[in-house]
């Protein structure tokens, strides 16, 4: 009896031992499971914030330079040079951003406070457009991969809005030059009339290009009054005078335009150059003039505004009423007319 009981007890112990060994060898171990879980979590990167995700257009550039991150400002520094087909172009040597708070003035003929140009640096400016001659001016600038400031007349802008859009789309800075090219220092000009000339000019530019213009302004005939200067300053609009006047509006031909600019520029060494894109002689002279500037070692500085000008609603409405067009005309043409097949 005792032997039978002993045998039974031995059998139970043996079964327990066998079951424990089987469990130990076949079941997953707790200390082995933990690293597997941690490894799985590490393999799942946290989603980047939306703002940090690269835009689709930058995928190739970023992927190709993972070991050398591209500086954030690099793509915007030299857009013209990276796409310029002319290896010997005049180009743009540097671009500057202007804080127009308080209405700073540029051009030593009248405004001497902000002399930021160094020797051989120039700013190209064109008044009185847009006009049928303006596309020829744009082509000459494009061929040399350079940029300018355009000061269009409001009325001309309503005549040729599509041309002013070409100016803006080409990357040039677009300011204003009054509504009707009125001389604002005239004895019969009242302060309300001065404000209307200034504001309607900017409103016309905005209507044509479909966005806010630069707060850059040039007085017709360079004639200003203290009241007009004060008004522009209150609107944070920067004023432009001139260092080198091409006198193209009274030149006998393209050669004289070139000679006027180069003679004065070689004497002064730098400065803001005044030309007119509605002058035929200027449009013809410009390709040669730009090559002369390049040969002379001159470098173009592009001026941009830190902030664009918010036009005044009452003058926007006044312009729409004067032009007898619906307010919807202020929308850019691309939002109204779209090509669906070609």
The encoded tokens of residue 157 equal: 């802008």
Backbone torsions φ then ψ of 72, nearest 5 degrees? -60, -35
pTM over 0.85, yes/no: no
List, for residues 283-319, the tens digit of each pLDDT value.
999 999 999 999 999 999 999 999 999 999 999 999 8
The structure tokens listed for 113 are 């406070």
- pLDDT surpasses 80 at 325: no
Q: What average pLDDT does the chain have?
A: 81
140 alpha carbon, distance to own chain's centre: 20
End-to-end CA distance of the chain, in Å?
A: 106
- The least confident of 71-85, 106-120, 135-149, 315-329 is 71-85
Pick from 108-117, 141-150, 259-268, 333-342: least confident: 333-342
pLDDT value of residue 323 = 76
Q: Higher-confidence residue: 157 or 336?
A: 157
Gap between the Cα atoms of 173 and 148, Å rounded: 6
Beta-carbon neighbour count of residue 280 at 10 Å? 15
Mean pLDDT calculated for residue range 15-22: 43
Per-residue pLDDT at 93: 97
Q: In whole angstroms, how far apart are CA 217 and each of 152, 181, 221, 313, 340?
A: 9, 12, 12, 19, 39
Confidence of residue 337 (pLDDT cuts 50, 70, 90): confident
Nearest alpha-carbon partner for 327 in 336, 215, 67:
336
Q: How far apart are alpha carbons 198 and 318 in whole angstroms?
A: 13
| Residue 111 CA: distances (Å) to CA of 103, 183, 238, 327 | 11, 18, 11, 38
* 83 or 202, which is more confident: 202
Percent of the chain at pLDDT above 70?
A: 72
Residue 36 has pLDDT above 70, yes or no: no
Q: How far apart are CA 228 and CA 104, in angstroms?
A: 13
Q: Give residue 86's Cα distance to chain centre.
A: 22
Task: Quote the pLDDT of residue 329.
Answer: 52
Q: Who has greater pLDDT, 55 or 247?
A: 247
Residue 216: what pLDDT? Answer: 98
**Using an 8 Å Cβ cutoff, are 290 and 146 in contact?**
yes
């Amino acid at each position: 009896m005792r032997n039978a009981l002993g045998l039974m007890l031995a059998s139970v112990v043996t079964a327990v031992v066998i079951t424990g060994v089987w469990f130990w060898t076949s079941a997953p171990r707790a200390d082995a499971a933990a690293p597997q879980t941690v490894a799985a979590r590490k393999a799942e990167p946290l989603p980047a914030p939306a703002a940090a995700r690269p835009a689709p257009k930058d995928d190739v550039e970023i992927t190709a330079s993972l070991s050398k991150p591209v500086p954030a400002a690099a793509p915007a520094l030299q857009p013209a040079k990276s796409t310029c087909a002319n290896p010997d172009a005049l180009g743009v040597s540097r671009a500057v951003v202007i804080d127009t708070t308080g209405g700073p003035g540029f051009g030593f003929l009248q405004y001497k406070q902000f002399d930021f140009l160094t020797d051989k640096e120039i700013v190209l400016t064109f008044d009185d457009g847009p006009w049928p001659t303006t596309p020829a001016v744009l082509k000459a600038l494009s061929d040399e991969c350079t940029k300018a400031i355009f000061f269009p007349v409001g009325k001309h802008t309503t005549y040729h809005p599509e041309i002013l859009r070409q100016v803006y789309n080409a990357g040039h800075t677009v300011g204003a030059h009054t509504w009707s090219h009125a001389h604002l220092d005239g004895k019969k000009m009242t302060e309300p009339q001065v404000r209307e000339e200034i504001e309607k000019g900017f409103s016309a530019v905005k209507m044509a290009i479909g966005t806010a213009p630069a707060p850059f302004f040039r007085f017709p005939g360079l004639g200003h009054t203290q009241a007009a200067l004060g008004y522009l300053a209150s609107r944070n609009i920067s004023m432009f005078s001139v260092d080198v006047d091409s006198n193209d509006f009274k030149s006998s031909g393209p050669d004289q335009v070139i000679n006027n600019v180069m003679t004065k520029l070689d004497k002064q060494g730098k400065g803001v150059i005044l030309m007119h894109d509605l002058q035929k002689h200027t449009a013809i002279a410009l390709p040669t003039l730009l090559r002369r500037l390049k040969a002379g070692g001159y470098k173009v500085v592009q001026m941009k505004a830190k902030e664009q000008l918010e036009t005044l609603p009452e003058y926007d409405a006044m312009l729409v009423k004067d032009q007898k067009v619906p307010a919807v005309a202020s929308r850019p043409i691309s939002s109204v007319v779209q090509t669906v097949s070609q």
